[in-house]
Structure 1
Amino acid sequence: MTVHRLVTGHISARLALPEYLDTTAAQAASRALPGGWTLTADPATEAVDVEVTTGAAAVTVAAVTVRLRLPAHVAASNSLAYVTYTAFERARQHQRKATVHATALIAPDGQAVLLLGAKGAGKTSTALALAAQGWTHAGDDVVVLGESDDGRVSVWPGKPTAAIRDPARPLAPKPQLALEPFATGLAPLARVVRMAVHPALDTASLTPAVPLSVNERLRLHETLGRYISGLPTPITGVAGMPYGPVWPLDSPALARWRSHLIARLAVGQFDYLYAPDPDTAADLLTKEAG
């Protein structure tokens, strides 16, 4: 085994890989992940955070180490980047950060807004409209949320590309668009917005969600627990037929930290946004930020 220092998801931790493993494909997937996927040599001998071997797919946790056993063809593909990113979620949450399904932007005043919503809720289209009004992208669909060293709830830059459907080719694969301008560092979180943008909505509104309902708290628990459960990342590879059990990455201590983070979100600015189109949604958010 060869020990590396892996920087991904805005943390640095130790990764052990088979000496013969070619990581070229994994490193090519760097732009698809928050914080990239960068390996450097690390000759230290203390326990590693994640260890990868080849064989029948399996995930186990022993002491501080997450052990991934991947089929050889998966370990040699770009799937290595995705599965190790997910495995590092344990270390990420120990460092008070969590990967979330969300879109984030930074307002001209330097504060971040986190956009939540189901697939098709209008997060990406609203983000593009906000960028046209002077906001800075901080990640589409995948963002890192947590507590910074000064104790503030903050957003770290997420995935720097977005999949945008061509209206003239609705059945074609979505091309990837590089998001510009894009954040270069963390930003304090000013507002969380759960949104729904749809032409059937006659009027636009931005209303407080606080105090949070039981359903909203459950949705937040699901969002913050998504990557620790490994559900987005099958250990059999991202190209074939995915399957696999829930990953054994969680612990009572990490669950308590996520509950603490939700409690902090619950006392901050948390709104529901409804709008008939992305430009109207962006106008509402820009007016509030101003």
Structure 2
Amino acid sequence: MTISDNQEPTKKSRKVVRAAGRSSTKRADVEAAISAVTNIEQEVIGEFEEHREAQLRAMLSDGSAAKQILGEIKGDISDSLNRSHDFLQLVKQIRGNVTAILEERFPGQLPEVSAEDLPHEGAIFFSTEIMQSKIDATLYLREPNAIFATERVFEIHKYVTKYYRIYKSQTEQKEVNLRLNGSCYAKVKYNDKAVGVIIHALLDNVVKYAPAGSKADINFHEESGRVRITFQSLGPKICPEEMEKIFLPGYRSNAARERDLPGLGLGLGAARQISDMLNIDLGVEQDEKECAGFPGLHSTRFTVSFNAIDTRST
């Protein structure tokens, strides 16, 4: 939970603080943590950006260089995570406390649903959820074996809906109409946290590139023991020779780089590594023609396909 540094506590807030004990954090701590963890990616930009093009050229000319490149990125990630260890722990603490508050206010209701009804607590909850997904992505790049952590059975539609709610507020702020389409009752069996990194990466890509006034869709299609989910939105041009490169750790398409938006391309890199190791299909396609009214942007579709283990008719 969070408490104001200056605000006079109410009877209820004092009760919550006593219950939380030492886990209580001040607003200044929350703001510092959010600021620090949001910039984790930025900490490593300067460390390997100047070497990125040379590394990619080496990799494309010699496939064996890929492991060396990933190894160097892992080193940068490890250094950044180690320097930010205290803030990462604080984020986990804040995430746990705000979740407890949401569960107290709305017993039996999912935190991501409750967060929509409490703007201030909800903003903190959604921020920490996104931060945690970014942290998980870097951890899986650093420690690939963690991808094979304990599997569990879960309904993929409900799971994606959680991330849809988390990103809905961000797309609304950008004036992008994000829609969730289609029903699905299939269950899948994977490491759900690893799957969450894939979903996070694809939605993060939507938020980053979709322009104001545009629409973005998450479409479900279920058939023959498979669940296919397509994330469709407008994005910068991806040349044919870049279609596979954009899934390489650290690579961004030429058009994306020209837009000078923050990021290292680690999200899609982590998503591809997870999908390959768990035998999940992940791909991208794009319309060749620019979208009318949005110069330089094309309709882009990232598709991820899962094996279903249980399908029920509607």
Same fold by TM (over 0.5)?
no
Higher relative contact order (CA 8 A, sep 6+): 1
The structure number with the bigger radius of gyration is: 2
Q: Which has a greater percent of helix?
A: 2
Q: Which has a greater percent of strand?
A: 1
TM-score (norm 2): 0.24
TM-score (norm 1): 0.25
